């Protein structure tokens, strides 16, 4: 049930409970201190009362301690001072004569230890002794009764002071106390009102914040969220509001970014379908011609159409593979399969693989490195895909007699080697460099090779390198051509 209460109610309730506990505690402690100090003063005041009585009344010292004469003496003393009760005890503490009415006595023996302490001049007042008429300890005065040198008993006087009157009784009879209490009660009420008001004031910004968050939730996050405004008051709530506003700003930013990514994706999809449509239509066109004309087609023409269909189909497959690879890399589910191997080996393998293609174009493809033993731990398949894309681009953009170098350079940073694919080709206009890795971006100077390209090679390359924990960089060479480079960690 407590959980259902609002923060304000909880705080108010706790303040009320704490306040009440404090008030009750304070009253109880002051009452206790007051009663102890009164008892102490009263006992101090009557310290010698019993001794004087024994000394001044020869009757008490006589041997008939249980006689009616002493009883009568006590009775008359009690009439004079109604706050005292007189008892005569024998040496074992047994009550042998007393001033009270017999039916009031509920105890026959009084513990003598506090009496002896009192008589031996203890300074530790108040001392409480058994009350023959009740169960609560009482302050007292006591003296030893002697018969000659013989100790024959004790005179035990209970001081029944009015201090034990209850607070309520005192209140009833004291106008001044009544006024004080009234003032105290009014102050307490005023204080409560003050506490409630300040709590209400402090909790208000929190309410505003909750209201703002709730209304935001009701809006369903369909559009950009507006920042929350809360009156400047409590610093903690302002900090919370600021943190929340920061979160809103971040959400808005992500919202914008999502919208942008979504728009880009739609656009990419439209363009990619367009890219696919062209080879698909030519494939369809050739196949329809072959199918329609059948035997009317010259065997040479027929063969040419079939070859062109095949080329279009191959290109289509290449595009679909590229699109699929990009989608797969973007899904975030691709991880690297790390293996340790010498980098030189893979560079020489690639040189071998592209040898026919570069020979055909009269380009030199060379491997440049100082240390053949450098080993790295990386995903071989992905590294090959990266270098493949870069070498294919370099071959396409390098004219006859050009040189492409696959370089392995040790860097100053510990454990890092740089792999560079450097060509002596046409280079890249500086203002186009920032867009080179965007999907479907093709530069203004792009070299064509009779094949269709859709501009996904470098996008895929960049994503592959990200998975390998590396980053691709590109720059134009001092002489001619461009260099694409990235770093790998050496084992």
Ligand X SMILES: Nc1ncnc2c1ncn2[C@@H]1O[C@H](COP(=O)(O)OP(=O)(O)OP(=O)(O)O)[C@@H](O)[C@H]1O
Residues found near Mg ion in the complex (CB under 5 A): 393, 457
Considering the complex, state which of residue 107 and residue 452 has its C-beta at the smaller distance from ligand X: 452
Considering the complex, state which of residue 385 and residue 442 has its C-beta at the smaller distance from ligand X: 442
Q: Is 433 exposed, middle or buried (0-12, 13-18, 19+ CB in 10 A)?
A: middle
Phi first, then psi, for residue 77 (nearest 5°) are -65, -35
Tell whether residue 158 is a contact of ligand X (CB under 6 A): no
Residue 463: HSE in the Cβ half-sphere, 13 Å Cα cutoff: 19
Considering the complex, state which of residue 93 and residue 457 has its C-beta at the smaller distance from Mg ion: 457
- Would you state the structure tokens that stand for residue 151, as one six-digit string? 């100790």
Tell whether residue 458 is a contact of ligand X (CB under 6 A): yes
Considering the complex, state which of residue 285 and residue 443 has its C-beta at the smaller distance from ligand X: 443
Measured CA to CA, the distance from residue 244 to residue 228 in angstroms comes to 8
Among 454, 465, 472, 488, binds ligand X (CB under 6 A): 454
The end-to-end CA distance of the chain, in Å, is 64
Among 46, 453, 462, 463, binds ligand X (CB under 6 A): 453
- For the four alpha carbons of 222, 226, 232 and 234, in that order, the dihedral sign comes to positive
Q: How far is the CB of 448 from ligand X (least distance, A)?
A: 9
Q: How far is the CB of 352 from Mg ion (least distance, A)?
A: 21
441 binds, among Mg ion, ligand X, none (CB under 5 to 8 A by kind): ligand X
Q: How far is the CB of 410 from ligand X (least distance, A)?
A: 24
Q: How far is the CB of 451 from ligand X (least distance, A)?
A: 8
312 binds, among ligand X, Mg ion, none (CB under 5 to 8 A by kind): none
Q: How far is the CB of 353 from Mg ion (least distance, A)?
A: 16
> What is the signed CA dihedral for 26, 27, 33, 34, rounded to 10 degrees?
150
139 binds, among Mg ion, ligand X, none (CB under 5 to 8 A by kind): none
Using CB under 6 A as the binding criterion, the count of chain residues that bind ligand X stands at 23
Q: How far is the CB of 430 from ligand X (least distance, A)?
A: 12
Place of tokens 């005569």: 88
- Would you state the structure tokens that stand for residue 11, as one six-digit string? 């705080």
Q: How far is the CB of 410 from Mg ion (least distance, A)?
A: 28
Considering the complex, state which of residue 379 and residue 423 has its C-beta at the smaller distance from ligand X: 423
Q: Which of residues 412-451 bind ligand X (CB under 6 A)?
A: 423, 425-428, 436, 441-443, 446
Considering the complex, state which of residue 309 and residue 398 has its C-beta at the smaller distance from ligand X: 398
Residues 6+ apart with CB under 8 A from 338: 377, 378, 379
Q: How far is the CB of 353 from ligand X (least distance, A)?
A: 17
Of 457, 461, 459, 400, residue with least CA distance to 426? 400
Considering the complex, state which of residue 12 and residue 389 has its C-beta at the smaller distance from ligand X: 389
Q: Which of residues 361-400 bind ligand X (CB under 6 A)?
A: 389, 393-394, 397
C-beta nearest to Mg ion: residue: 457
130 binds, among Mg ion, ligand X, none (CB under 5 to 8 A by kind): none
Q: How far is the CB of 387 from Mg ion (least distance, A)?
A: 12
Considering the complex, state which of residue 244 and residue 441 has its C-beta at the smaller distance from ligand X: 441
Q: Which of residues 344-363 bind ligand X (CB under 6 A)?
A: none
Residue 454: HSE in the Cβ half-sphere, 13 Å Cα cutoff: 26
Tell me which H or E stretch contains 369.
Answer: strand 364-369
Residues 6+ apart with CB under 8 A from 368: 405, 406, 407, 408
> What is the signed CA dihedral for 322, 327, 332, 338, rounded to 10 degrees?
-20
Long-range contacts of 245-254 (CB under 8 A, 24+ apart): 251/221, 251/225, 252/224, 252/225
394 binds, among Mg ion, ligand X, none (CB under 5 to 8 A by kind): ligand X
Which of left, alpha, beta for 308 (phi over 0: left; psi -120 to 50: alpha)?
Answer: alpha
Tell me which H or E stretch contains 476.
Answer: strand 473-476
**Three-state DSSP class for residue 443:** coil
The interface mask with ligand X, positions 308-337, x = CB under 6 A, is: --------------x---------------
**What are the residues binding ligand X (CB under 6 A)?**
322, 389, 393-394, 397, 423, 425-428, 436, 441-443, 446, 453-459, 482
């Amino acid at each position: 049930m407590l959980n259902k209460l609002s923060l304000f109610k909880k705080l108010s309730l706790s303040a009320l409970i704490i306040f009440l506990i404090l008030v009750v505690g304070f009253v109880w402690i002051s009452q206790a201190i007051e009663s102890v100090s009164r008892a102490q003063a009263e006992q101090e005041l009557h310290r010698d009362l019993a001794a004087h009585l024994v000394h001044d009344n020869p009757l008490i010292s006589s041997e008939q301690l249980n006689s009616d004469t002493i009883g009568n003496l006590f009775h008359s003393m009690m009439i004079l001072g109604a706050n005292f009760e007189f008892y005569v005890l024998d040496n074992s503490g047994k009550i042998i004569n007393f001033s009270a009415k017999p039916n009031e006595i509920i105890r026959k023996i009084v513990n003598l230890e506090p009496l002896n302490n009192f008589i031996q001049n203890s300074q530790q007042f108040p001392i409480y002794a058994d009350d023959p008429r009740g169960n609560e300890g009482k302050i007292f005065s006591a003296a030893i009764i002697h018969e000659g040198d013989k100790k024959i008993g004790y005179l035990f006087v209970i001081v029944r002071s009015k201090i034990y009157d209850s607070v309520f009784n005192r209140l009833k009879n004291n106008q001044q106390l009544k006024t004080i209490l009234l003032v105290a009660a009014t102050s307490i009420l005023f204080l409560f009102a003050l506490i409630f008001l300040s709590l209400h004031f402090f909790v208000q910004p929190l309410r505003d914040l909750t209201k703002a968050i709730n209304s935001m939730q009701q809006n369903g996050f369909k559009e950009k969220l507006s920042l929350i405004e809360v009156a400047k008051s409590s610093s903690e709530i302002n900090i919370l509001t600021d943190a929340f506003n920061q979160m809103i700003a971040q959400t808005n930013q992500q919202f914008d970014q999502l919208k942008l990514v979504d728009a880009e994706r739609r656009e990419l999809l439209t363009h990619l379908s367009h890219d696919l449509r062209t080879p698909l239509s030519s494939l369809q066109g050739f196949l329809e011609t072959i199918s329609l004309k059948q035997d009317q087609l010259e065997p040479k023409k027929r063969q040419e159409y079939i070859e062109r269909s095949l080329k279009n189909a191959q290109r289509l497959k290449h595009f679909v593979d590229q699109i699929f690879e990009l989608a797969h890399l973007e899904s975030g589910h691709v991880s690297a399969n790390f293996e340790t191997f010498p980098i030189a080996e893979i560079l020489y393998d690639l040189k071998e693989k592209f040898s026919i293609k570069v020979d055909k174009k009269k380009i030199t493809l060379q491997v440049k490195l100082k240390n053949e033993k450098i080993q790295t731990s990386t995903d071989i398949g992905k590294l090959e895909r990266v270098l493949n894309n870069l070498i294919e681009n370099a071959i396409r953009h390098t004219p006859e007699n050009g040189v492409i170098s696959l370089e392995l350079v040790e860097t100053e940073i510990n454990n890092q080697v740089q792999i560079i694919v450097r060509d002596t080709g046409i280079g890249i206009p500086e203002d186009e460099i920032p867009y080179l890795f965007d999907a479907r971006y093709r530069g203004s100077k792009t070299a064509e090779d009779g094949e269709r390209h859709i501009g996904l090679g470098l996008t895929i390359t960049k994503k592959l390198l990200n998975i390998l924990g590396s980053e691709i960089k590109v720059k134009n060479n001092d002489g001619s051509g461009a260099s694409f480079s990235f770093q790998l960690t050496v084992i």
